[in-house]
Amino acid sequence: MGLNRSRLLLAVAVLTLATCCLADLSEKRRVASSLSLEELDEQLQQCAVVQDINAEKLARHDSTSSAVSRIFAVLFPGSPAVNALLATLYISGPPNFLLALCPTNIDPSSLSVMVAFAVGGLMGDTLFHLLPEIFLGEDSPTQARLVLVEPNRNLLLGVAILVGFMTFVAMDKGLRIATGGAGHDHSHGHSHEHVPTSSTADAVTSAMEGPDEKGLKSRAKGGDAKTTSVASATEVKDINPSVKLGGYLNLIADFTHNITDGLAMSASFYASPTIGATTTVAVFFHEIPHEVGDFALLVQSGFSKRAAMGAQFITAVGALLGTLIGIAVQEFGGSGAADGVMGMREGLWGTSLTWGDMLLPFTAGTFLYVGTVAVIPELLETGPNKSAELRKTLTQFAAIAVGAGIMLYISWHD
């Protein structure tokens, strides 16, 4: 099967060479069979038709070179590994230092507009950058590229996207099970609410209506206030352990989520500098409401402001860990441009893919989950005031459009 595929790809390349530049097809087939993908591409670039296309692309690139590209070049001047580490610093540092300015009584629900903006950025990056890069590869702004369609390769890339999506589904489901199935909403706002259950209410009622029930009822009005305070203390005593557990579980979820952010950094920069830069922007957009929401939750869970900031800083180490893991996979797992006939070799399940190539689609799957399942339900929540909710909805849609528009602008002018 692999041999037939290689022969088919070789025939396509030879036909392309013959159409452009070659007079003797049989002789050039022998030459092409000994070329690597890079060498074959060099031959194609000498074709007159390809050179005309290159001249057109170069003229368009020179006329549309934007300040965004120059900024990206300054922020990410090194190798893919160095740029991935710099990106991790950019997305982890400022949001954590921003927490020092946040009041301790901030309500996560007040971040809805910021969350909507982050949704637009994440979905824009996924649809405008990651998915085209995954299936078509990196475009060259100055040269035409030959894209060879490999159906089984595309199928495996789709599987990797699904695995990334389902990984977050499993993590979210596990956290809901760990919290007893109530009050855990794994979104960027990460809201945990503890509503006293009927058993808790029954316990308080039983405590109030025990053997001394008649004595309690016969007490004065001041005694009723004392009774209310006792009941409240009992309720707080029941609520606090669950809320505290929710805070710690949220830290675990935050740490795991940051690992996937680090994987996204490494995978995107090894794909191309532009993809890496735009992914960094998208992740930065969603890190701010994510970190602020988690900070508010930790304070509500009983953490002091200093302790909550320290906990968030520790979870940021997860992003660095994910970046290092991604770099190791890319460096030691190989890439799709391996040596061999036309750059093809037997990779995963008879395709040209390697494990390093699977990181970017895995990242796209996690972004799809975060941008849809994990966050959209929060934006769908409404209150009884119809006019206020309508204004809020229009603001959220505008924020989503702005976030996606920024990603589209960067993609259009990269």
Based on its alpha-carbon atoms, the radius of gyration of the chain, rounded to whole angstroms, reads: 28
Whether residue 296 is predicted with pLDDT greater than 50 in this model: the reply is yes
- Lowest mean pLDDT segment, chosen from 178-187, 250-259, 289-298, 360-369: 178-187
User: Are residues 26 and 79 located together in one domain of the fold?
Assistant: no
pLDDT at 339: 41
In a domain, 267, yes or no: yes
Q: Which residue has the higher pLDDT, 316 or 301?
A: 316
In a domain, 203, yes or no: no
User: Are residues 57 and 81 located together in one domain of the fold?
Assistant: no
The pTM of this model reads 0.68
Name the domain boundary from 11, 42, 64.
Answer: 64
Q: How far apart are CA 195 and CA 24, in angstroms?
A: 80
Whether residue 252 is predicted with pLDDT greater than 60 in this model: the reply is yes
pLDDT at 62: 53
For the chain, how many structural domains are there in total? 2
pLDDT at 206: 40
Helix (H, G, I), strand (E, B) or coil at 304: coil
Average pLDDT, the chain: 74
pLDDT at 247: 74
Tell me the per-residue pLDDT of 149-173, one tens digit each, with 9 for 90 and over: 788 889 999 999 999 999 989 988 8
Whether residue 222 is predicted with pLDDT greater than 60 in this model: the reply is no
Tell me the per-residue pLDDT of 383-412, one tens digit each, with 9 for 90 and over: 899 999 999 999 999 999 999 999 998 888
- Lowest mean pLDDT segment, chosen from 6-15, 164-173, 305-314, 329-338: 6-15
Under 8 Å between Cβ of 263 and 321: no
Helix (H, G, I), strand (E, B) or coil at 337: coil
User: Are residues 32 and 138 located together in one domain of the fold?
Assistant: no
User: Are residues 27 and 94 located together in one domain of the fold?
Assistant: no
Whether residue 293 is predicted with pLDDT greater than 90 in this model: the reply is no
User: Are residues 180 and 287 located together in one domain of the fold?
Assistant: yes
Q: How far apart are CA 252 and CA 263, in angstroms?
A: 17
Q: How many CB atoms lie within 10 A of CB 350?
A: 13
324 pLDDT band (50/70/90 cuts)? very high
pLDDT at 38: 65
In a domain, 232, yes or no: no
Continuous H helices in 137-190: 151-178
User: Are residues 32 and 159 located together in one domain of the fold?
Assistant: no
CA max distance for the chain = 111
User: Are residues 180 and 308 located together in one domain of the fold?
Assistant: yes
In a domain, 233, yes or no: no
User: Are residues 157 and 256 located together in one domain of the fold?
Assistant: yes
* Residues whose CB is less than 8 angstroms from the CB of residue 338 and which lie 6 or more positions away in sequence, other chains included: 344, 345, 347, 352, 354
User: Are residues 245 and 320 located together in one domain of the fold?
Assistant: yes
User: Are residues 151 and 247 located together in one domain of the fold?
Assistant: yes
pLDDT at 373: 87
Backbone angles phi, psi at 130, to 5 degrees: -65, -50
414 pLDDT band (50/70/90 cuts)? low
Which residue has 């692999």 as its token pair?
2
Tell me the per-residue pLDDT of 335-380, one tens digit each, with 9 for 90 and over: 544 443 444 456 788 788 888 889 899 989 999 998 888 888 888 8
Whether residue 75 is predicted with pLDDT greater than 70 in this model: the reply is yes
Beta strands per DSSP E along 115-213: 184-185, 191-192
Whether residue 47 is predicted with pLDDT greater than 70 in this model: the reply is yes
**Domain housing 28:** 1-64
Q: How many residues does the chain have?
A: 414
User: Are residues 272 and 159 located together in one domain of the fold?
Assistant: yes
Helix (H, G, I), strand (E, B) or coil at 121: helix
pLDDT at 147: 73
Under 8 Å between Cβ of 390 and 106: no
Which one, of 48, 85, 133, 35, lies nearest residue 342 by Cα?
35
Alpha carbon separation from 335 to 155, 160, 266, 285 (Å, rounded): 17, 15, 13, 29
Q: How far apart are CA 363 and CA 260, in angstroms?
A: 7
Which one, of 311, 329, 314, lies nearest residue 263 by Cα?
329
Which one, of 335, 366, 364, 353, lies nearest residue 156 by Cα?
353
CA torsion angle 358 363 364 370 (round to 10): 150
Which one, of 414, 316, 374, 324, lies nearest residue 172 by Cα?
374
16 pLDDT band (50/70/90 cuts)? low
